Amino acid sequence: MKNLYLTISLIALSLSSFAQQVAPQFKVVTIVESIVPGGLGRSRLIETKTEVNAADFTTERTDGKDSKQGDVKRGDAKIDSFAETKLLNFFSVAGINFQNIASNDAIITSKMNELAKDGWKLSFVTSGVESDGGKEDGAGIFITRLIFSK
- Residue 21, helix vs strand vs coil: helix
- Tens digit of each residue's pLDDT (9 = 90 or more) over 106-145: 999 999 999 999 999 999 999 998 876 666 666 778 899 9
Using CA atoms, how far apart are residues 5 and 22, in angstroms rounded to an integer? 26
Identify the CA nearest to 47 among candidates 121, 94, 112, 119: 112
| H or E element at residue 110 | helix 98-117
DSSP state of 38: G
C-beta atoms surrounding 44 within 10 Å: 15
pLDDT number for residue 92: 79
Express each pLDDT in 33-76 by its tens digit. Answer: 988 777 677 899 999 998 888 877 777 777 767 676 667 677 77
Q: Given this model, what pLDDT does residue 113 score?
A: 98
pTM of the model: 0.75
Per DSSP (E only), the strands in 11-120 are 26-34, 43-48, 82-87, 91-92, 95-96
Q: Which range, 22-26, 39-43, 77-81, 131-135, has the best average confidence (pLDDT)?
A: 22-26
Q: Are 26 and 148 spatial neighbours (Cβ–Cβ below 8 Å)?
A: yes
CA 27 to chain CA centroid, nearest Å: 6
What's the gap between Cα 150 and its chain centre? Answer: 14
Do the Cβ atoms of 100 and 90 come closer than 8 Å? yes
CB contact set of 19 (below 8 Å; sequence gap of 6+):
none
